[in-house]
Amino acid sequence: MRIPAVAGSFYPSTKGKCVEFIESNSCTENTNSKVVVNPHAGWGFSGKTAIHSFMSLKNSGSNRFLIIGPSHYFSDGVFLSGQDWKTPLGIAKHDKNLVNQLGFEVNENFHEPEHSIEVQIPFLQYFFKKFTFAALLLGDQSWSSCLQVAKSIPDDVAVIASSDFTHYEPEKTARSKDFEAIELVEKLKSREFSELVEKNNLSICGYGPITIAIEVAKRNCRKGVLLDFSNSGETGRGVVDYVSLAFV
């Protein structure tokens, strides 16, 4: 079983505090989606934005999830977890069949310190009383790697792409860069989005998960819809932007 790495830092360390945060930041969401983009910063910065995506997922009635996160510690390979994950809200059951279907290497060592997937799971536990999930961590976010992952994802699985957007730039600059990228995501232009990030060295840390989400969304969706956009607030290093987006 995977033990929480960032409970008490990125999100509360107790069930009561997690529930209190979610319920105090509840929102109304009219979209109904099985493929979403979600931020993964500390809940105090991006949690309110993230809730929009989970409300959209809840409207879809999904109960089987694939959470795809970028690694902040390595830049090669694609690695699954084969364990249940513990959080302050209890134990989230991994989907053994989905792990087998996806077929990538299982390696818990790469998942152990990473926050990009972990911060999503307490939200799932709150909004979905019964669900299973697989955790997929991307080191290699190249176009070819993303296509390989996208092709392996079954149609009956809801996908959560975990990513923050521009990091530590002035608010106006960050917003301009991100809305150019968001426009491509909304239009389901996965290849152009991936190329924009790499060509311009954008600091969208989970551009690979987003690229995969677009490819999966193309099967049944017409467009992406921006649900919420926020940032960390101006600091000495600028802002970090957060996006909640659903494909419909």
190 found inside a domain: yes
Query: Does residue 235 surpass a pLDDT of 90?
Result: no
Check: pTM over 0.95? Answer yes or no: yes
Query: 164-216, pLDDT tens digit by residue?
Result: 999 999 999 999 999 999 999 999 999 999 999 999 999 999 999 999 999 99
115 found inside a domain: yes
Residue numbers of the domain that contains 25:
15-247
- Strand-pairing partners, residue 239, are 169
Q: Is 107 exposed, middle or buried (0-12, 13-18, 19+ CB in 10 A)?
A: middle
Q: Tell me what pLDDT residue 101 has.
A: 97
98 found inside a domain: yes
Query: 142-163, pLDDT tens digit by residue?
Result: 999 999 999 999 999 999 999 9
Confidence band of 237 (pLDDT split at 50, 70, 90):
confident
Query: 27-83, pLDDT tens digit by residue?
Result: 999 999 999 999 999 999 999 999 999 999 999 999 999 999 999 999 999 999 999
CATH number, position 231? 3.40.830.10
Q: Tell me what pLDDT residue 114 has.
A: 98
The tokens for 73 are: 């510690």
Query: 72-127, pLDDT tens digit by residue?
Result: 999 999 999 999 999 999 999 999 999 999 999 999 999 999 999 999 999 999 99
At residue 247, the 3 state secondary structure works out as strand
Q: Tell me what pLDDT residue 174 has.
A: 96
103 found inside a domain: yes
161 found inside a domain: yes
Side chain identity, residue 61: G
Confidence band of 129 (pLDDT split at 50, 70, 90):
confident
Q: Tell me what pLDDT residue 200 has.
A: 97
Which residues 6+ apart lie within 8 Å of 183 measured at CB? none
What number of CA atoms fall less than 13 Å from residue 10's CA on the CB side?
22
5 found inside a domain: no
Number of domains into which the chain is organized:
1
2 found inside a domain: no
The tokens for 102 are: 């996806």
Query: 2-32, pLDDT tens digit by residue?
Result: 999 999 999 999 999 999 999 999 999 999 9
57 found inside a domain: yes
